[in-house]
Amino acid sequence: MSLYLGIESSCDETATAIYDADRGLLCHRIHSQIELHACYGGVVPELAARDHCLKIIPLIDDVIQAAQLPSIASLSGIAYTRGPGLIGALLVGATVARSLGFALQIPTLGIHHLEAHLMAVMLEAQRPEFPFLALLVSGGHTQLLRVDGLGHYQLLGETLDDAVGEAFDKVAKWMGLPYPGGRVIEQYAKQGNAARFTGRWAFPRPMTDRPGLDFSFSGLKTHTIQCYQTIEQEPTAIADIACAFQEAVMDTLYIKCKRALKQTGLSRLVIVGGVGANQQLRMRLTELMSICKEGQLFYPRSEFCTDNAAMVAYLGCMRMGRGERDDALAIKPLARWELS
């Protein structure tokens, strides 16, 4: 048996998982710090790191038990998120993983958080074959990538400023909604009327009127906030703004995905990252793939769109199975780390 422990601690979720090379994912746990940070309207890095320290060992014990391993010594390897992310938060996962690896005399491997998000779709029974186009939309990143295989990624376009999730969170904050804002905006948008905004207040679809696959969401965010300020006294203000903002984001992602599919000739599209949990996004891209020749859409279940350790354990299993390991004893998390 080849059993891998996965540890994720890059931001505000402490997560652990056990992945078996033969039987697949055995179990996973996620502790979210949302309540801890809620009153600050965003993640406080120092509090995040301290909370990871409190939760990480109990969560490791928990998955070892849930997977019915006789002991932690049954593990073949440990994968942990090395970066990118909050440095203090990353340091907790990296230190625990490397110390455990040293004590148990088993290999460890630092995993790239975005690569783990990309591969989260492989945890599903409905998984794509390579190559595919990936839309990675999270709180920190917005990218379009061509994926030809494990470790073979070509960046086709990315955001020049705010990530999609970040724009959702900032717009929500301005409207007095709780953090993280993505899911809350999605709920409000269901009752909203986007069509009321016309003329000067029509919501832009940024960078869709020029060629290329890059994105920009900070102008749309500012437009949304200014528009909200003009109508905030109205009872339907939040719902209407949420609806118009979400529609503008989804239209933009739709147009860029369509363009990328045409440019690459790919017929499989994968949505990953926290914003991938958005039902409206899934609906729009299902529409898009239905008009593409042999188009197929794939996405992980919602709990594997947002941060989790199942994706880290899976990728650890794949990479350590090929003989990859951390080399020196040093513990070196990376707050910034390009996927390429």
* Residues near ligand KG4 (CB under 6 A): 11, 138-140, 165, 168-169, 180-183, 186, 273-275, 277-278, 306-307
Tell me how far apart the alpha carbons of residues 112 and 134 are, in angstroms, rounded to a whole number: 16
- In 10 A of CB 86, how many CB atoms? 23
Could you identify the residue written with the tokens 């949302």?
34
Would you say 208 and 256 are in contact if contact means Cβ atoms under 8 Å apart?
A: yes
Q: Quote the CA–CA distance of 115 and 136 in Å, as a whole number.
A: 10
CB 22 within 8 A of CB 315: no
Residue 179 beta carbon to Zn ion: minimum distance, rounded to whole angstroms = 15
Q: Which does 162 bind (CB under 5 to 8 A by kind): Zn ion, ligand KG4, none?
A: none
Shortest Å distance, C-beta 56 to ligand KG4: 18
Question: How many other C-beta atoms can be found within 10 angstroms of the C-beta atom of residue 227?
Answer: 20
CB-wise, 12 or 247, nearer to Zn ion?
12
277 binds, among Zn ion, ligand KG4, none (CB under 5 to 8 A by kind): ligand KG4
Q: Is 186 in the site for Zn ion (CB under 5 A)?
A: no
What single string gives the DSSP state of each residue in 234-268?
Answer: STTHHHHHHHHHHHHHHHHHHHHHHHHHHHH---E
**Residue 321 is encoded by which pair of tokens?**
């199975």
Residue with tokens 């998955």: 63
Q: Binding-site residue total for Zn ion (CB under 5 A)?
A: 2
Residue 162 CB, nearest approach to ligand KG4 (Å): 10
Distance (Å, rounded) from C-alpha 134 to C-alpha 171? 25
Minimum Å distance from CB 114 to ligand KG4? 8
Quick note: the x/- pattern for Zn ion over 129-168, rule CB under 5 A, is: ---------x------------------------------
Closest separation in Å from C-beta 272 to ligand KG4: 8
Report the site for Zn ion in 292-311 (rule: CB under 5 A): 307
Cβ proximity to ligand KG4: between 157 and 182 the closer is 182
Q: Where do contacts with Zn ion occur on this chain (CB under 5 A)?
A: 138, 307
